[in-house]
Amino acid sequence: MKLLLISNSTNAGEEYLRYPMPQIEQFLQGVREIVFVPYAAVTFSYAAYEKKVQDRLGEIGIRVKSVHRAKDPVKMIREAEAICVGGGNTFALTKKMQEQGLMKAILKKIKAGTPYVGWSAGSNVSCPTICTTNDMPIVEPESFRAIGAIPFQINPHYLDANPEGHAGETREQRILEYIEANPRRWVVGLREGCMLHYENEQLQLIGPRPMRIFRKGQPIREVVAGDDLSFLFNK
């Protein structure tokens, strides 16, 4: 498998997809065309999302083809040179992917070695479920099941702080609830500006911030770029 799972598309004050572009370019070296899944878009059109991604990936000579234009989206996935799933609302993304049968089709392609790039919601759907998304369930998918390319859960945009004056649960507390209900599942809190790269059976953290690790019965810990992450594939 070849996966590039990015926490967020855009750092504050930067252009869209600017910070991860060096890693995306290296990851997609030799790729001329990528199939894009835009279904996390809610307040803007799929065509506008396709153009937004094309404008950026065009800088490195990659053509973007969106599945929303295909008469047979599964066929487009089957023939894809590489696959990209963008961020937005994870529930809207999951519902549409399930309706079109894209989850299984993408998993099959990933297992065959097709490169997969996702950010935010696109990283969430690479997990076994979407249960560690931060998004509001604005629509109801068939289930919470996702692609399942990796055996652990990602919480993208992971935040440590609780805003002043906010009396609700922190991100840490929400994840602790999840592992209480799902004691056999690892959860990683992927902070902004960071990503996970999986290739040649090696998982690597890329970025300037540590990644937070949660598992029921174990102390919360943090790992940094260069640390061994192979334990995340252990059940």
User: 207: exposed, middle or buried (C-beta count within 10 Å: 0-12, 13-18, 19+)?
Assistant: buried
Query: Which tokens hold the place of 39?
Result: 């279904």
Catalytic residue from among 9, 68, 123, 135: 135
The answer to whether residue 135 is catalytic is: yes
Helix, strand, coil content of the chain in percent (nearest 5): 30, 20, 50
**Is 227 in the active site?**
no
Angle at CA 175, nearest 5°, toward 129 and 91?
35
Q: Which helix (H) or strand (E) holds 60?
A: none
| Catalytic one of 7, 66, 120, 126 | 120
Q: In this structure, are residues 29 and 22 in contact, taking their beta carbons and an 8 Å threshold? A: no
| Catalytic site includes residue 120 | yes
Catalytic residue among 157, 160, 166, 197: 157
Positions annotated as catalytic residues are 120, 135, 157
